[in-house]
Amino acid sequence: MHFAIIDDHPLFREALLSTVQVAFPGAVIDEADGLASACEVMSRSDTIDMILLDLSMQGVTGFDGLIQLRARFPRVPILVVSGLDDAQIVHEAIRCGAAGFVPKASGKALLTEAISEILNGGVFLPKEYRRTNVGRTGRSQSDMLDRIRSLTPAQMRVLSLVKRGKLNKQIAYELNVGESTIKAHISEIMRKLGVSSRTQAVIETSALDFDVILSGAKAAE
């Protein structure tokens, strides 16, 4: 595994480094103390599996660092590890493309869980933010249920697998269809749910009893 840790506080970089080394022995870890040095680090290697990013760094305003890294390196998932753990900030980080959020005050176990979840293709939020539906677009749960029920049975199965962290290639294999078919399904799922990314689709549906909905869809086939 190859990680990039981006934080302008040397002590916290050291703490993150220690946690990652213990959880993933033998991992390659690059460090950066700001956005410019982060882009240099990222540009030198195409093997980085994950970025661990602090939002509050010198010379970076708001979510600019996250947005710029997502734009320049769209295939590398970003786990935000921040001392700014207000619910609205968590919501905005996910909306800006983060694959997960962990408060700096969290222990090593939660950080390790978050990294593992994201490496497996999932989206990670601490339980307290899942309960409050952080990341939702403001729609009521009943509205989202109506949108989910507009999906075809095939789209429901695809969404179920996306929520479990499966990649397009894995979903195509499991459903015995082409990867292009899965991409088309996901595009239609995002359109029907009114979201702009698969990450948002996962967050928007995280509070719903999806197994029940999926069972209903199978019964209707």
Which residue positions in the chain have pLDDT lower than 70?
Answer: 130-142, 203, 206-221
Last residue of a domain, one of 88, 108, 131: 131
pLDDT of residue 219: 46
Question: Domain for residue 136, yes or no?
Answer: no
Instruction: State the chain's mean pLDDT as an integer.
Output: 81
Question: Domain for residue 173, yes or no?
Answer: yes
Verify that 169 and 120 share a domain, yes or no.
no
pLDDT of residue 137: 46
pLDDT of residue 134: 44
Verify that 162 and 116 share a domain, yes or no.
no
Verify that 76 and 173 share a domain, yes or no.
no
Q: Domain of 122? A: 2-131
pLDDT of residue 79: 93
| pTM (predicted TM-score) | 0.61
- Residue showing tokens 């789209």: 155
Question: For the purposes of burial, counting CB atoms within 10 Å of the CB of 182, is it exposed (0-12), middle (13-18) or buried (19 or more)?
Answer: buried
pLDDT of residue 80: 92
**Domain CATH for 84:** 3.40.50.2300
Task: Tell me the Cα Rg of the chain.
Answer: 18
* Residue 52 · residue 76 · CB < 8 Å: no
Last residue of a domain, one of 102, 131, 160: 131
CA neighbor of 148 nearest in space, from 165, 163, 168, 129: 163
Using CA atoms, how far apart are residues 136 and 179, in angstroms rounded to an integer?
28
Q: How many domains does the chain have?
A: 2
Give how far Cα 9 sits from Cα of 51, 56, 101, 106, 191, Å. 16, 10, 18, 17, 41
Verify that 13 and 121 share a domain, yes or no.
yes
* Residue 100 · residue 79 · CB < 8 Å: yes
Verify that 70 and 161 share a domain, yes or no.
no
